[in-house]
Chain A
């Protein structure tokens, strides 16, 4: 039987700004099972960032149920939430958020520093493995400024998988990249997904959504669409169809 990784029921999130209550999420339901690659789409202001913050245990819903890997997130303390993020979630951001002047390896090691059960030897090994997996085995000692945007995002992906999370949450992970590099990154995501990783990918680009196997669309705090993708694009193939860049 499929294992449910994320289960949300009637999630609502309201913000009090001045005297006005802004209702960002107005009751959302869905679940994500292990091995799914879900894109969450929506225009700006649709509530997808708010949803992602809740999924990432950075924020708590005003009401509703959120279970992450069978753990009820509501009412957990800040420290318990931090532990949950450390052990069960891998974050990938639009702007990579790597530590400057810090090597790729040290950047990838970072989440394991916050896990006391991981020894320094194991930490290094796992970080090296993660970097090899994203194809940066020969770039471990490079600092972010010595890496291209695509390579930086690969480091960020390695950092997101180093703690072996139950779900990878990506926030516009291709937003700062050109088409070719985006496809390369999507090929990497598809590769990770084929290895059994569950991925929730927030984007507003429809062509990126075609690489996933399920799309959820939000509008004004409601879920308006939740469909499996019929013709999944294979990123590696799409990459080959791109016009070859002119050699300079």
Chain B
């Protein structure tokens, strides 16, 4: 029989049992739609993490203290004091691969202005910090090297601080706020940056010279971390190695000693978070695939029913010249038609629900063409796989018996 006729006949057969065909498709529809939606959500969050991390500065390098090892006791990284101003000096003078470098110390506390107050963090950084983190000044200025040297009590604040302390519309620049009872004169306001992927409000920040924060607030000499920017994104990996070498010398580590610090580029951060979301995506897709398999079993079930129901039709078709392969193809095409039609509807539903998720829940999503192609192929394969056994049963019937089947 010609292929086009096979498809026509199968389509007619499905139309004779519209409700049943639709219910059978439903399993596939839900399966495909959820695979596509899950992959879109997974891909979307992966992309958004990548964008967020790049927006922090794609050539940014961060140096964190490693786990400290003293008297046989390993200590938490944040308590570790392995990064010092000496390290900063060494990096500043010896490195050829970095353009900016800034130490970072931070502490939490209550910021107060007039009758308003707000719990926040103060970041003690160098004057290059805004260049490294790609922060922009909305009004006023960033503090200078001189302010750092003098440990001046000046600060640059983020938008969240502005909203909470200067809600009445007062221009913050020139005002003085208190943080931990220390007065800071505001000399600049940062542009809004929003929440990052990790749920952290990047505008809830007060920047002050690290010298000021170290002396007045933390009363500590050690650095929480050092951030730097490589001269270009391409040499970021090279810079990681160079900085590590400089720090190993500065820390007087022997050849077989472990590093007591970590130097990370943004690329590493991206791949770390990407792999986390990749695992999540795989999990979601596996769950969605299970529903696709369940849908396939539904097809198999209904095709068996159909073969039994139409035993006489099969007998007749054989009697008037239908070969085994014709009968096999007829039922196989029917099964494939169910799964592929279900797949098409599922793709549309998947794209639709993805749009819904991104519009109403504001989740980052991205429907990839691969996910559509893959789920569509899986559908067709499901149809063939689960339609095969019922179709073969039909094709192997004895026409004499089938014609007399009651």
Contacts and interface: CB of A to CB of B under 8 A. Distances in A.
A59 interface: yes
Nearest to B4: A120
A110 interface: yes
B317 A110 contact: yes
B318 A113 contact: no
A101 interface: yes
A34 B315 CA distance: 28
Contacts of B325: 79
Contacts, number: 63
Given A101-B16, A102-B12, A114-B326, A59 B400 contact: yes
B321 interface: yes
A78 interface: yes
Contacts of A85: 319-321
B320 A111 contact: yes
Most buried by A among B312, B320, B325: B320
B400 A79 contact: no
Given A97-B312, A99-B313, A87 B321 contact: yes
Interface in B315-340: 315-326
A120 B3 CA distance: 13
A227 B343 CA distance: 64
A110 B319 contact: no
A93 B324 contact: no
Interface string B354-391: 00000000000000000000000000000000000000
B1 A97 contact: no
A83 interface: yes
Contact of A86 (B5, B315, B321, B403): B321
A58 interface: yes
A62 interface: no
B9 interface: yes
A82 B323 CA distance: 6
Nearest to B401: A58
B298 to A, nearest CB: 23
Given A59-B400, A97-B312, A97-B403, A110 B323 contact: no
Which residue among B2, B317, B322, B399 has the maximum number of chain A CB atoms within 10 Å of its CB?
B399
Contacts of B324: 78-79, 82
Nearest to A90: B320
Nearest to B315: A97
Contacts of A120: 5
A83 B321 contact: yes
Contact of B321 (A53, A82, A100): A82
A115 B400 contact: no
A111 B403 CA distance: 16
B8 to A, nearest CB: 9
B317 to A, nearest CB: 7
A211 interface: no
B321 A111 contact: yes
Contacts of A115: 321
Contacts of A91: 316, 319-320
A116 interface: yes
A58 B400 contact: yes
A222 B329 CA distance: 41
Contact of A114 (B16, B312, B315, B322): B322
Contacts of B323: 78-79, 82-83, 114
Interface in A108-130: 110-111, 113-116, 120
22 contacts: A58-B400, A82-B322, A85-B320, A86-B320, A86-B321, A87-B321, A91-B316, A93-B316, A97-B312, A97-B313, A97-B316, A97-B403, A99-B316, A110-B316, A110-B320, A113-B1, A113-B9, A114-B1, A114-B323, A115-B321, A116-B2, A163-B320
Given A86-B321, A87-B321, A111-B321, 12 more contacts: A58-B400, A79-B323, A82-B324, A82-B326, A83-B321, A85-B320, A91-B320, A113-B9, A114-B317, A114-B323, A114-B326, A115-B321
Interface of A: 53, 56, 58-59, 78-79, 82-83, 85-87, 91, 93, 97, 99-102, 110-111, 113-116, 120, 159, 163
Interface of B: 1-2, 5, 9, 12, 16, 312-313, 315-326, 399-400, 403
